[in-house]
Amino acid sequence: MKLVRKAVFPVAGLGTRFLPATKAMPKEMLPVVDRPLIQHVVDEARQAGIEHFIFVTGRNKAVIEDHFDRQVELEMTLLERQKQKALDRLRYDLPEPGTTSFTRQQEPLGLGHAVWCARELIGREPFALLLPDVLVQHERGCLAQMIDAAREAGERANIVAVEEVPRERVDQYGVVGVGAAKGKMFSITSMVEKPAQERAPSNLILTGRYILQPEILDLLATQDRGAGGEIQLTDAMIALARTQPFYGLKFDGRSFDCGSKVGFLAANVSYALARPDIAPGFRTEIKKILAELNGG
């Protein structure tokens, strides 16, 4: 049996940093080049062999469900206009029938609460959690790298993707303490949410990709609200780490925090430059803009 079959995508947040773009449209539908953020992370999960895609949605998010459904009228039009390539691509992007599930968070009470809302769909098995506003650009996706590493970690292990940031920025993230090495991973000795620089156990931060054991759901069920009045996933992970192994994996690839405007714009530039059909024209435009800015 596969180590991880199900993936959870929390998409119920308000996306306030992207207002007014996110007033009537979910943040997760913002495109990086020509694919919505949520499609990029579903692609990553499919590459990792995930078989069931669980979305935790909220009000104004119905368009995400429509995105992962067939659009028969559009398909007919593409067929009539002999746009076979576009049609093939649409079909290829769609998960198999019956492999997507949608549940509602009802109120955005935090990431931990969003994960807990998926408990009936997750059941009692390990699951992957992918934050759709983080993209990792690499030929082998971040989750696939984590599942490769998970084979060395044993059945009851929790694994989180981590990356280095400059010390002066650790207070914006969840930070982990580094213990003994285990293959490509290391065991995690502590986790602190948004620590002051001098209290941070390292400069390695949680990136938004997790493989978690189902016991996290029991902890989330009884957890009080933490920072910002939200039910924090990190608090539940800290509690789980007392009874189960937790490992960190420094993944290969570059991450983009698409929840921030600069990260989102940088992702668009980097993904466009990696696309052979777009890169040459786009490179010319960027050069022009930079030359004009530099007065040349």
Q: Where does this chain bind ligand UTP (CB under 6 A)?
A: 10-17, 27-28, 56, 105, 108-111, 113-114, 131-133, 259
Backbone Cα Rg of the chain: 20
CB closer to ligand UTP, 64 vs 157: 64
Whether the CA torsion 136, 141, 145, 8 is positive or negative: it is: positive
Which two three-digit tokens encode residue 34? Answer: 């020509």
The sign of the dihedral angle between the CA atoms of 231, 233, 237, 240 is positive
- The least distance separating ligand UTP from the CB of residue 111, rounded to whole angstroms, comes to 5
For residue 199, the minimal CB distance to ligand UTP (Å) is 22
Smallest distance from the beta carbon of 122 to ligand UTP, in angstroms? 15
Cα–Cα dist 194/201, whole Å: 11
- The minimum distance between CB 50 and ligand UTP, in angstroms, equals 17
Integer Cα distance of 43 and 94 in angstroms: 10
Minimum gap (Å) between residue 278 Cβ and ligand UTP: 26
Contact between 202 and 174 (Cβ < 8 Å): no
Closest by alpha carbon to 132, among 122, 117, 145, 142?
A: 142
- Cβ proximity to ligand UTP: between 10 and 36 the closer is 10
Helix spans in 131-175 (H): 142-153
CB of 19 to ligand UTP, least distance (A): 8
Our CB check for ligand UTP shows the closer of 172 and 197 to be: 172
**158-164/246-250 β-pairing:** parallel
For ligand UTP, give the closer residue by CB, 33 or 109.
109
| Alpha-carbon dihedral 183, 184, 190, 192, rounded to 10 degrees | -170
Q: Which is nearer to ligand UTP, 14 or 33 (CB)?
A: 14
Cis peptide before 20 (omega within 30 of 0): yes
Closer of 27 and 52 to ligand UTP (Cβ): 27
**Residue linked to tokens 């009692």:** 124
* Smallest distance, ligand UTP to C-beta of residue 102, A: 12
Considering the complex, what minimum distance in angstroms separates the CB of residue 93 from ligand UTP? 20
Q: How far is Cα 166 from Cα 203, in angstroms, rounded to an integer?
A: 7
The residue with its CB nearest to ligand UTP is 13
Q: Output 52 or 157, the one with its CB closest to ligand UTP.
A: 52
Distance of CA 37 to the CA centre of its chain: 9
Q: Which is nearer to ligand UTP, 261 or 283 (CB)?
A: 261
